[in-house]
Structure 1
Amino acid sequence: MSRNSSGKKVIKKTKGFSSGTRTPKPAIFFLGFLLVLVGILGILYNPSNSMEETLKWDLSEAGILSFPERGEPVFTVREVEDLYSPENPDTLKLVSFESGGDKVQALLRIPANASPSSPGIILLPGAGVSKEGEQGLAMELSKLGYATFTLDQRNQGAINIERDLELFRAGLEPVEYLMVYDVLKAADVLSVQPEINPEKLAVLGESNGGRFAVIACALEPFIKGVIGISTSGYGTEELDSSQVTDFEACQFYRSIDPDNYLSDLPPSKLVMVHSFNDTVISHELALRTFALAEEPKAMYNTTEETHGYTASMHPYLEKELSLLLN
């Protein structure tokens, strides 16, 4: 079902007015100024003048999200100082790109020892972590020879499912749909960078970022694989839509659950890395998601009592990225 309005404006015609008296010149000039100002504001705020229209999306009966074919990526790039590791010889660029009618920013890190056409990784931080805060992991990946494209996720990766459900019911774009679309647009932007091999792209997400990473990878065949760190699905595949009283809510909850997209991942590979003692998402939930996934897939476990990336996960990333992108 399409949740978008047509975007067409209804223009009402109004009759001209005549008071039967002559309007003083200052009033005429003031009125003319107002008309010009209104016209300028109309041009500036007319949605049809944006470089990308409001996001369009559809859901299947089973609640699987889809988007229409995307246009050419629109973006700007400028090199910036690497404040996160001044001694690091990497090249760091700030990229601003169009997505769903908004501007999204990302940091593109190009390894100093990069080949003329490097593999690229879209990096999605966990909730509350900015693109700058994810540069520690980005630098580790750079040392392995991978360029990273780290997104500034909307709400810094935090989600409000009930608020998104309200937007869904109103026919408006849930923020989580926009966040998935941002990943798809990021893949488009990354693939056309001169330093990147467009045939060697993967997406890596931590926690909530891992959820968006799985959905985006399932929707975009040219992404070779997805690595989810400290993440899982929600288990909504067990909901029986024929038995629920609120079909709309059921459909929405399914649409944001990566578990429901796992069958669409192959031939892209799913890699999961999770701690037995994760403090936020239990290891059992991660195992459940992994069990639902089809081959090719791989899972690695660590023991730290924490949530998110740890140094002990490094060997697994090195191994799996080499299999995915080299």
Structure 2
Amino acid sequence: MQATFILGAILVVAVTFAGCTGSTTAVPSFSVDNNGILSVTCAPVTTTDTVLFTNDTYTESRVVLHTQTGDVVTYLSYPKQPKAVIVYIPGAGEKISGHAERMVNYAAAGYAFMFVDIRGRGGETDGYTFNPQTDYTKFESGDWPQYYLTICDISSARAVLANRFGVPVYAVGGSNGGRYAAVAAGVDPKFAGYVGISTADWGLRDAVLDQGGSGDILRFATSLEPSTYLPRISPRPVWMFHNATDPFIPFSEGKALFATANEPKTFIEFNGDHGINSDVDQRLIAQWAQIYGT
């Protein structure tokens, strides 16, 4: 981790925010329709912002989302007047230390970058490793599956950042994180668009169908799949990045997910192996430069 992230905190700010719905009186709830499409009303959140480093160019901070079901830790880097904001959902094993230089580079290019340590990754945010069976048991009993709570966390991050900066906010994710980000962008129409990197469907819906499953179990499995939501992102843009020799998620599966999106959409084969890297960063910043200027 860069030294800027381990400097002592110089400022702590606590902010109350309404979360996904923008209403402090909202009653949290979720529903899944017969097509497996998730809808959520998220509980209000508050935030604590601890500034780790600041200068005339950018600021880096640790932002904790205080939800009704536990704290979610994020890290944010931003220039004084960002042109857009990235809510980045990491894949398994990704650490904030691996993104310190990236966060500075995006800030220097004029964009805010938030790394969300989602539930169950083994980082600073509590939770269990993604477990569809555990979540289905909760779903059947009417309790919140952790997967749905995570979608609310991502949406709450968007709402907090949109309120703070007043600029477009994009859902971006790599590998497993790209799956969560796709669902969040489809569920929350206030995201400006979606970027998926080295990602594809989970394959849960197909597994249920192969086993002759139907009813609630099929509806639940469908609600977890990115392809359920990609068509709903249009007319907001979708960008997807994948490497032809990806060793973890096959290129063909990434293309299959991309095929479910409606226009406008762009598929880019990048240099690397799996997950976000400097080539993806440069291509993405170049794409956005056409929209927001240099």
* Contact preservation (8 Å) 1:270, 1:298: yes
CA RMSD in angstroms, aligned pairs only: 2.8
CA deviation profile, 1:256-301 (whole Å, cap 9, x unmatched):
1010112210121110011101111110000001111100100100
1:35 aligned partner: none
1:163 aligned partner: 134
Shift of 1:107: 1.2
110, 117, 120: which is aligned to 1:145? 110
Tell me the distance in 2 between the aligned counterparts of 1:52 and 1:230: 39
1:224 aligned partner: 192
Tell me the distance in 1 between the aligned counterparts of 2:89 and 2:135: 20
34, 47, 61: which is aligned to 1:75? 47
Shift of 1:141: 1.7
Which one-letter code corresponds to 1:266 in the other structure? S
TM-score (norm. length: structure 2)? 0.79
TM-score (norm. length: structure 1)? 0.72
1:1-326 alignment runs, 5 A limit:
55-68=28-41, 70=42, 73-81=45-53, 90-111=58-79, 114-115=80-81, 117-156=82-121, 158-193=129-164, 196=165, 198-234=166-202, 244-304=212-272, 306-323=273-290, 325=292
| Bigger radius of gyration among the two | 1
Tell me the distance in 2 between the aligned counterparts of 1:139 and 1:262: 30
Structure number with the higher strand fraction is 2
Tell me the distance in 1 between the aligned counterparts of 2:189 and 2:290: 17
Shift of 1:59: 0.4
Which one-letter code corresponds to 2:86 in the other structure? I
1:33 aligned partner: none
* Contact preservation (8 Å) 1:92, 1:108: yes
Tell me the distance in 1 between the aligned counterparts of 2:198 and 2:56: 28
Tell me the distance in 2 between the aligned counterparts of 1:265 and 1:237: 20
Which one-letter code corresponds to 2:133 in the other structure? E
CA deviation profile, 1:283-324 (whole Å, cap 9, x unmatched):
0000001111100100100243x2112222233211223345
CA deviation profile, 1:186-241 (whole Å, cap 9, x unmatched):
01111122xx2x23211211111111111111122221111111111235666897
Tell me the distance in 2 between the aligned counterparts of 1:167 and 1:156: 19
Tell me the distance in 2 between the aligned counterparts of 1:222 and 1:234: 24
Tell me the distance in 1 between the aligned counterparts of 2:27 and 2:99: 29
* Contact preservation (8 Å) 2:243, 2:270: yes
Which one-letter code corresponds to 1:184 in the other structure? S
* Contact preservation (8 Å) 2:208, 2:221: no
Residue segments in structure 1 that go unaligned for 5+ positions in a row:
1-50
Q: Secondary structure at the match of 2:29?
A: coil
Q: Secondary structure at the match of 1:98?
A: strand
Which one-letter code corresponds to 1:128 in the other structure? G
Shift of 1:171: 2.5
Tell me the distance in 1 between the aligned counterparts of 2:134 and 2:292: 38
Count of aligned residue pairs for this structure pair: 263
Shift of 1:126: 0.9
* Contact preservation (8 Å) 1:78, 1:94: yes
Tell me the distance in 2 between the aligned counterparts of 1:279 and 1:240: 25
